[in-house]
Chains A and B, each alone.
Chain A
Amino acid sequence: MSTQTGRLIRSTAEAPYYRAVGDEVAVFRAAARRGLPVLLKGPTGCGKTRFVEAMAHELGRNLITVAGHEDLTSADLVGRFLLKGGETTWVDGPLTRAVREGAICYLDEIVEARQDTTVVIHPLADHRRQLPVDRLGISLEAAPGFQLVISYNPGYQSVLKNLKESTRQRFVSIELDFHPADVETEVVVHEAGVDLETARTLVKIGEAIRNLEGVRLQEVASTRTLILAGELVAEGLSLRSAVRTAIVQTLSDDPDVVRALGELVDAFVTP
């Protein structure tokens, strides 16, 4: 089991690209000044991770990212004893590291982890701002810059995997959604490096799929999938086959749905 579950991103000179639409930047700034924990809600691929990266850069803090998975234990977050040359040494987990350094700790898709794991963050997420490390018998005070950010994708996970009320009530919630068409076009142009016309068509396709009524797709075409398709186009693929491979085929495995989606997409990229 690796101990380096966290991914550390030093703030670099180049700012991550994020296009703000609502007041999310202002809310995040205010929360950061007070050290309030933030809960990001929003559909897959709408830019939650990118938003946190951009904010960390703007605030000049380090960002430590942990991806939630169902075997994530509290030791993975807090740290554990390791064997080094016949002696046991304590190695900080990503959460402990963030607490000590005063970095932003981003727990991505935290609901994927078991509920007993998430309880570890409770004392950090309220007025105490402490991390009890019971294996060391100490309690760490969070350094001034420390901020906890978790993301959560409502509706995507099963009913069993929901955030505990006691957990969610400690957080400031910021809801992110797909950007409006013109902004999303800008994002696709910037990220995929395609021309404006292609980006516009891609965004139109994305919106058409998102707004289908009476259709049960598990997921809709996210900004991320649109960028993927755009990147394929930038590599010289035809728009039609890029859309088919990056959007239509990824959204469903059901041949009927794929065929119907193909028809819908063909309305924009005529063969």
Chain B
Amino acid sequence: MTATDSGRPDRFRFLASFIAGRSLGVAEAAPGETAHTDGRFVFVSAGHPASEQRREVLLQAALLGAGSLDRGRVRSIRGRPKVARRYLALEGRRVFAELAARVPLAAALRPDGEPITSSADESLEVARGRGRVADPPQWFGVIRPARLLAAPHGGPGARPSDDDLRLEFEPTAVPETRGNGDEEPGEESRIRRLFENPLFNSNTLSDFLNKLFGASRSPGDGAAGGELPVRSLRRADRVGPDARPLPVPLRFAREGPPAAAVSVGGALYPEWDVYRSRYRPEWCRVIEFPLRAAPDVSAAGVEHDEVLRRRLARLGLGPKIVRRQPDGDDLDIEALTDLFVDVHAGYSPPEHIYLERRKLARNLGALILVDASGSATETDPQGFSVHEHQRRAAATLAVTLEKLGDRVAVYGFRSHGRGAVHLLALKPFAHRFGAGGRARLNRLQPSGYTRLGAGIRHAGEILKAEAGTPNRLLLVLSDGFPYDDGYESRYAEADARRALEELRVDGVGCLCLSIGGSTDSDALDRVFGSASRASAPTLADLSPRMDELFLTALEELAAPNLRSPRRARRRTASGNG
């Protein structure tokens, strides 16, 4: 209501839409420009107080609503600024007077003087003539015929018109291709693309053949039935910059058993380039393989954390009514009836006659992704390295979740540049977390760097394909900054955050735990969001609030995507082959 609000003209959008009778946005014009409209947006003069902007919105929207800015009329005043100005002065007064009868606000803001015309055509006639017309006030703004005629029909969010749906595009609308980094798959030159135009080629070819052989038109060639003017086709070989490229599965050609049989898989993943606001397609090669260390079963001990078990056991994700309980909120009438029937018949059964409503249904699939990079080697005062802490935490979490009947997988992850991001399968979903898996986890040695985004993306794919549960959670155990060759600070953070967004859109919750780290990393907070990240010296410190952490991470999914897990699995299986 005050002048401080003047920077947010968006607030007038409902008002504008109502008065214009169609969907209309409101934005600020460039500094120095006066108010105008392009038929989809009303541009108000920048920096003016809200009351002034409200007036401007009212007038421009009223002009649109009254049809004063119809294409035909605008065309006739194009290139004639003097006529346009007179027309605006006349029409503005006329539509405002009309609006004032309907809307009290317009009556309050009405300019002085009665309108001297009664229709748009009359205004146009008078504007073209020589009679004296009072100048429009400053807030009437201007009519900009060029912008009005250039804008497509309809406002933002309006229904597409036939023009929009027609397969037609102008060659100038081909997006300019820029030089794209060092090694991205090259784009073909525009000149070659012109020659590749399939219609152009087939037409010339068939014309040539027709001349040569004198062939008649083949049926189905004619224009009958279709009024679809196809002038050119656009090859959809490249997607827009905001579209997320899909991972491209790698194919392994080698002797011996096929890769899928020995659980080797991988894919090329895109990476988000924050500086250019676009994806770099097929940028990171992620390879997933089982860690083949000789299992040393003596090292298979896993700490048992009773607090963690109890906390996670509470983690029910769906309500369930339990009947015939010894205690509860409600009477289970049927059990009660049965009890009385039994008592009258001479039996004395236990009095389990209550209903209890508990969140019991679990249905959780969790993938624990352990940071196995070299940065995790620093040690704490007790002589345990961060990596050691993370490993123990992963083992304890995996054992606890598995005992509670959830689906669990444990993967280690590290990278050496974008060509070699490794995901080490320590415990895939399909295996039990037996002595072998525990021993393998204990033998995981830290090395390499942290290309977090690619690791998250592949772990997400595994989770989506193999977990097979409606609730899916990615648990990242990491402490340090995402860092790799050409993967630093802002770029790395943005990519990792993007990867997490992708996962959340696909219905996978994400949680990051930093265990044993000496310094608190702001970078990970920024990547995961402070609600989905926790850090502590040991896992036991986090155990008392683990259920809360899990639930927060899962609740962040606004609309979980309950895709059939079988279909997704089939897709990756064929990709691995």
Contact surface of A with B, Cβ cutoff 8 Å: 1, 75, 80-83, 86-88, 201, 208-209, 211-215, 256, 259-264, 266-271
Q: Is the CB of A83 within 8 A of B340?
A: yes
Nearest A residue to B57 by beta-carbon distance?
Answer: A263
Knowing A263-B54, A267-B105, A270-B108, the reply to whether A215 touches B337 (Cβ < 8 A) is no
Residues of B within 8 A of A266 (CB): 15, 105
Residues of A within 8 A of B331 (CB): 1
User: How far, in whole Å, are A262 and B8 apart by their CA atoms in the complex?
Assistant: 14
Choose among B8, B22, B333, B337 the residue that contacts A213 (Cβ–Cβ < 8 A): B22
Residues of A within 8 A of B11 (CB): 256, 259-260, 262-263
User: In residues 7-24 of chain B, which contact A (Cβ within 8 Å)?
Assistant: 8, 10-15, 17-19, 21-23
B157 at the interface (CB under 8 A from A): yes
Interface pairs A-B: 7 shortest CB-CB: A214-B23, A214-B157, A267-B105, A264-B14, A260-B14, A259-B11, A213-B23
Q: Chain B's nearest CB lies how many Å from the CB of A123?
A: 22
Q: Is the CB of B156 within 8 A of A268?
A: no
Residues of A within 8 A of B22 (CB): 213-214
User: How far, in whole Å, are A179 and B15 apart by their CA atoms in the complex?
Assistant: 23
Choose among A80, A88, A201, A260 the residue that contacts B15 (Cβ–Cβ < 8 A): A260
Residues of B within 8 A of A214 (CB): 17, 22-23, 155-158
Nearest B residue to A263 by beta-carbon distance?
Answer: B15
Choose among B10, B15, B106 the residue that contacts A264 (Cβ–Cβ < 8 A): B15
Query: 19 interchain pairs (CB within 8 A)?
Result: A81-B337, A213-B17, A213-B21, A213-B23, A213-B155, A214-B17, A214-B156, A214-B157, A215-B17, A259-B8, A260-B10, A263-B14, A266-B15, A266-B105, A267-B18, A267-B105, A267-B106, A268-B103, A268-B105
Q: Is the CB of A256 within 8 A of B105?
A: no
User: How far, in whole Å, are A145 and B443 apart by their CA atoms in the complex?
Assistant: 79
Q: Chain A's nearest CB lies how many Å from the CB of B153?
A: 13
Residues of A within 8 A of B13 (CB): 260
Q: Is the CB of B330 within 8 A of A270?
A: no
B302 at the interface (CB under 8 A from A): no
User: How far, in whole Å, are A58 and B56 apart by their CA atoms in the complex?
Assistant: 53
B313 at the interface (CB under 8 A from A): no
User: How far, in whole Å, are A35 and B17 apart by their CA atoms in the complex?
Assistant: 46
1/0 per residue, CB under 8 A from A, across B19-45: the answer is 101110000000000000000000000
Residues of B within 8 A of A208 (CB): 18
- Apart from A213-B17, A260-B13, A267-B103, what are 15 other A-B pairs with CB-CB below 8 Å? A81-B337, A83-B336, A83-B340, A86-B340, A88-B340, A208-B18, A211-B21, A213-B21, A213-B23, A215-B23, A215-B157, A256-B10, A260-B11, A263-B12, A267-B58
Q: Is the CB of A212 within 8 A of B108?
A: no
Residues of A within 8 A of B158 (CB): 213-214
B104 at the interface (CB under 8 A from A): yes
Nearest A residue to B330 by beta-carbon distance?
Answer: A1
Q: Is the CB of B333 within 8 A of A80?
A: yes
Q: Chain B's nearest CB lies how many Å from the CB of A112?
A: 16
Choose among A209, A259, A269 the residue that contacts B104 (Cβ–Cβ < 8 A): A269
Q: Is the CB of B333 within 8 A of A260?
A: no
User: How far, in whole Å, are A271 and B23 apart by their CA atoms in the complex?
Assistant: 25
Q: Chain B's nearest CB lies how many Å from the CB of A167?
A: 24
Nearest B residue to A81 by beta-carbon distance?
Answer: B337
Residues of B within 8 A of A88 (CB): 337, 340
Residues of B within 8 A of A256 (CB): 10-11
Contact surface of B with A, Cβ cutoff 8 Å: 1, 8, 10-15, 17-19, 21-23, 54, 58, 103-106, 108, 155-158, 330-331, 333, 336-337, 340
Q: Chain A's nearest CB lies how many Å from the CB of B287?
A: 40
Q: Is the CB of A264 within 8 A of B18?
A: yes
Q: Is the CB of A261 within 8 A of B14?
A: yes
User: How far, in whole Å, are A259 and B12 apart by their CA atoms in the complex?
Assistant: 8
Nearest B residue to A82 by beta-carbon distance?
Answer: B333
User: How far, in whole Å, are A259 and B330 apart by their CA atoms in the complex?
Assistant: 45
User: How far, in whole Å, are A136 and B49 apart by their CA atoms in the complex?
Assistant: 74
Residues of A within 8 A of B330 (CB): 1
Residues of B within 8 A of A86 (CB): 340
Q: Is the CB of A270 within 8 A of B15?
A: no
Residues of A within 8 A of B108 (CB): 270
User: How far, in whole Å, are A80 and B17 apart by their CA atoms in the complex?
Assistant: 55
Q: Chain A's nearest CB lies how many Å from the CB of B543?
A: 34
Q: Is the CB of A270 within 8 A of B333?
A: no
User: How far, in whole Å, are A258 and B23 apart by their CA atoms in the complex?
Assistant: 17
Which residue, B58, B103, B158, has most C-beta atoms of chain A within 10 A?
Answer: B103
Knowing A83-B336, A268-B103, the reply to whether A260 touches B12 (Cβ < 8 A) is yes
Nearest A residue to B8 by beta-carbon distance?
Answer: A259
User: How far, in whole Å, are A265 and B9 apart by their CA atoms in the complex?
Assistant: 16
Residues of B within 8 A of A264 (CB): 14-15, 18
Q: Chain A's nearest CB lies how many Å from the CB of B356?
A: 13
Nearest B residue to A1 by beta-carbon distance?
Answer: B330
Residues of B within 8 A of A87 (CB): 340
Q: Is the CB of A212 within 8 A of B340?
A: no
Knowing A1-B330, A256-B10, A263-B54, the reply to whether A270 touches B104 (Cβ < 8 A) is yes
Residues of B within 8 A of A270 (CB): 104-105, 108
Choose among B21, B106, B333 the residue that contacts A81 (Cβ–Cβ < 8 A): B333
Nearest B residue to A201 by beta-carbon distance?
Answer: B104
Which residue, A1, A75, A214, A261, has most C-beta atoms of chain B within 10 A?
Answer: A214
Residues of A within 8 A of B8 (CB): 259
Residues of A within 8 A of B58 (CB): 267
Which residue, A215, A260, A268, has most C-beta atoms of chain B within 10 A?
Answer: A260
User: How far, in whole Å, are A201 and B105 apart by their CA atoms in the complex?
Assistant: 12
Nearest B residue to A259 by beta-carbon distance?
Answer: B11
Q: Chain B's nearest CB lies how many Å from the CB of A174?
A: 29
Q: Is the CB of B340 within 8 A of A215?
A: no
User: How far, in whole Å, are A87 and B343 apart by their CA atoms in the complex?
Assistant: 11
Residues of A within 8 A of B156 (CB): 214
User: How far, in whole Å, are A82 and B331 apart by their CA atoms in the complex?
Assistant: 10
Q: Chain A's nearest CB lies how many Å from the CB of B447?
A: 48
Knowing A212-B17, A212-B18, the reply to whether A267 touches B104 (Cβ < 8 A) is yes
Nearest A residue to B321 by beta-carbon distance?
Answer: A71
Q: Is the CB of A211 within 8 A of B18?
A: yes
Residues of B within 8 A of A1 (CB): 330-331
Nearest A residue to B5 by beta-carbon distance?
Answer: A259
Q: Chain A's nearest CB lies how many Å from the CB of B263?
A: 37
Residues of B within 8 A of A82 (CB): 333
Nearest B residue to A207 by beta-carbon distance?
Answer: B18
Residues of B within 8 A of A268 (CB): 103-105
Q: Chain A's nearest CB lies how many Å from the CB of B37?
A: 16
Nearest A residue to B156 by beta-carbon distance?
Answer: A214
Which residue, A82, A212, A262, A271, has most C-beta atoms of chain B within 10 A?
Answer: A212
Residues of A within 8 A of B337 (CB): 81, 88
Q: Chain A's nearest CB lies how many Å from the CB of B324?
A: 16
User: How far, in whole Å, are A13 and B331 apart by their CA atoms in the complex?
Assistant: 40
Q: Chain B's nearest CB lies how many Å from the CB of A206?
A: 12
User: How far, in whole Å, are A235 and B1 apart by their CA atoms in the complex?
Assistant: 26
Q: Chain B's nearest CB lies how many Å from the CB of A23?
A: 30
Q: Is the CB of B104 within 8 A of A212?
A: no
